[in-house]
Amino acid sequence: MVTVNKNYLKLPGSYLFSTIAKKVAAYQREHPRERIIRLGIGDVTQPLAPAIIDSLHKAVDEMAHAETFRGYAPDLGYDFLRNAIAANDYEARGCRISPEEIFVSDGAKSDSGNIQEIFGIDNKVAVCDPVYPVYVDTNVMAGRTGEYNPAHENFDNVIYMPCREENGFLPEFPKETPDLIYLCFPNNPSGAAITKERLQEWVDYANKTGAVIIYDAAYEAYITEENIPHSIYECEGARTCAIELRSFSKNAGFTGVRLGFTVVPKELVRDGVTLHSLWARRHGTKFNGAPYIVQRAGEAVYSQEGKAQLKTQIDYYMRNAKVIYEGLKNAGYSVSGGVNAPYIWLKTPDNMTSWEFFDYLLDKAHVVGTPGSGFGAQGEGFFRLTAFGTYENTVEAIERMAAL
Amino acid sequence: MVTVNKNYLKLPGSYLFSTIAKKVAAYQREHPRERIIRLGIGDVTQPLAPAIIDSLHKAVDEMAHAETFRGYAPDLGYDFLRNAIAANDYEARGCRISPEEIFVSDGAKSDSGNIQEIFGIDNKVAVCDPVYPVYVDTNVMAGRTGEYNPAHENFDNVIYMPCREENGFLPEFPKETPDLIYLCFPNNPSGAAITKERLQEWVDYANKTGAVIIYDAAYEAYITEENIPHSIYECEGARTCAIELRSFSKNAGFTGVRLGFTVVPKELVRDGVTLHSLWARRHGTKFNGAPYIVQRAGEAVYSQEGKAQLKTQIDYYMRNAKVIYEGLKNAGYSVSGGVNAPYIWLKTPDNMTSWEFFDYLLDKAHVVGTPGSGFGAQGEGFFRLTAFGTYENTVEAIERMAAL
Residue B141 to residue A256, Cβ atoms within 8 A: no
B117, B119, B145, B258, best to mutate vs chain A, most A CBs in 10 Å: B258
Q: Which residues of B touch A291 (CB under 8 A)?
A: 256-258, 291, 294
**What residue spans of B225-372 are helical by DSSP H?**
249-252, 275-286, 292-301, 304-330, 354-364
- Residue B218 CA: distances (Å) to CA of B183, B234, B373: 11, 16, 22
Q: Give the span between the Cα atoms of B169 and B369, in whole angstroms.
A: 19
Is residue A138 less than 8 Å (CB to CB) from chain B?
A: yes
Region of residue A381 (left: phi > 0; alpha: psi -120 to 50; beta: else): left
Q: Give the span between the Cα atoms of B170 and B187, in whole angstroms.
A: 9
Polymer length in residues for chain B: 404
Q: Minimal CA–CA distance to B247: which of B239, B256, B238, B258?
A: B258
Residue A273 to residue B4, Cβ atoms within 8 A: yes
Q: How many CB atoms lie within 10 A of CB B34?
A: 13
Q: How many CB atoms lie within 10 A of CB B262?
A: 23
Is residue A208 less than 8 Å (CB to CB) from chain B?
A: no
Q: What per-residue confidence (pLDDT) applies to B136? A: 97
Written as one letter, the residue type at A26 is A
**Measured between CB atoms, which of B75, B123, B257 is closest to A291?**
B257
Expressed in angstroms, the distance from the first to the final Cα of chain A is: 57
Largest CA distance in chain B: 66
Q: What per-residue confidence (pLDDT) applies to B42? A: 81
**ipTM value greater than 0.90:** yes
Is residue B43 less than 8 Å (CB to CB) from chain A?
A: yes
DSSP one-letter string for B4-22? B-GGGGGS-SS-HHHHHHH
Is residue B110 less than 8 Å (CB to CB) from chain A?
A: yes
Contact A248, A85 (CB under 8 A): no
Residue B53 to residue A44, Cβ atoms within 8 A: no
Contact A323, A391 (CB under 8 A): yes
Q: Give the span between the Cα atoms of A300 and B278, in whole angstroms.
A: 37
Q: What per-residue confidence (pLDDT) applies to A318? A: 98
A84-B14-A289 Cα angle (round to 5):
35
What is the chain B residue with the closest CA to A114? Answer: B286
Partners of A155 in beta bridges: A148
Q: Give the span between the Cα atoms of A280 and A265, in whole angstroms.
A: 12
Q: Which residues of A touch B132 (CB under 8 A)?
A: none
**Measured between CB atoms, which of A2, A138, A286 is closest to B113?**
A286
What is the chain A residue with the closest CA to B51? Answer: A64
DSSP 8-state secondary structure symbol assigned to residue A124: P
H or E segment and range at residue A128? strand A125-129
* Per-residue pLDDT tens over the stretch A32-89: 999 999 998 888 999 999 999 999 999 999 999 999 999 999 989 999 999 999 999 9
What is the chain B residue with the closest CA to A4? Answer: B119
- Residue B55 CA: distances (Å) to CA of A377, A403, B49, B159, B400: 46, 46, 10, 44, 40
**Measured between CB atoms, which of A15, A284, A291 is closest to B256?**
A291
Q: Minimal CA–CA distance to B201: which of B165, B161, B237, B168?
A: B237
Burial of B88 (0-12, 13-18, 19+ CB in 10 A): middle
Q: What per-residue confidence (pLDDT) applies to A359? A: 96
Q: Give the span between the Cα atoms of B24 and B36, in whole angstroms.
A: 9
Burial of A65 (0-12, 13-18, 19+ CB in 10 A): exposed
Residue B119 to residue A3, Cβ atoms within 8 A: yes
**Measured between CB atoms, which of B43, B209, B294 is closest to A72?**
B43
Q: How many CB atoms lie within 10 A of CB B43?
A: 18
Q: DSSP 3-state assignment of B330?
A: helix
Torsion angles phi and psi, residue A237, rounded to 5: 90, 0
Q: Give the span between the Cα atoms of B153 and B357, in whole angstroms.
A: 19
Contact B160, B181 (CB under 8 A): no
Q: Minimal CA–CA distance to B73: which of B290, B293, B344?
A: B290
Q: In Å, how far is A403's CA from the nearest CA of chain B?
A: 28
Q: What is the pLDDT along chain B (404 residues), one digit of tens a residue?
A: 999 999 999 998 767 887 898 999 999 999 999 999 999 888 999 999 999 999 999 999 999 999 999 999 998 999 999 999 999 999 999 999 999 999 999 999 999 999 999 999 999 999 999 999 999 999 999 999 999 999 988 999 999 999 999 999 999 999 999 999 999 999 999 999 999 999 999 999 999 999 999 999 999 999 999 999 999 999 999 999 999 999 999 999 999 999 999 999 999 999 999 999 999 999 999 999 999 999 999 999 999 999 999 999 999 999 999 999 999 999 999 999 999 999 999 999 999 999 999 999 999 999 999 999 999 999 999 999 999 999 999 999 999 999 99
DSSP one-letter string for B341-396? SSEEEEEPGGG--HHHHHHHHHHHT-EE-EEGGGG-GGGTTEEEEES-S-HHHHHH
Written as one letter, the residue type at B199 is L
**For A116, how many CA atoms within 13 A lie in the half-sphere containing its CB?**
28
pTM value is 0.97
Residue B3 to residue A73, Cβ atoms within 8 A: no
Residue A293 to residue B122, Cβ atoms within 8 A: no
**Measured between CB atoms, which of B15, B64, B258 is closest to A291?**
B258
Q: Minimal CA–CA distance to B295: which of B230, B346, B248?
A: B248
Omega before residue B32 within 30° of 0, cis: no
**For B350, how many CA atoms within 13 A lie in the half-sphere containing its CB?**
5
Q: In Å, how far is B276's CA from the nearest CA of chain A?
A: 12
Q: Give the span between the Cα atoms of A142 and A76, in whole angstroms.
A: 24
Is residue A207 less than 8 Å (CB to CB) from chain B?
A: no
Q: What per-residue confidence (pLDDT) applies to B16? A: 80
Is residue A56 less than 8 Å (CB to CB) from chain B?
A: yes
The segments of chain A whose pLDDT lies below 50 read: none
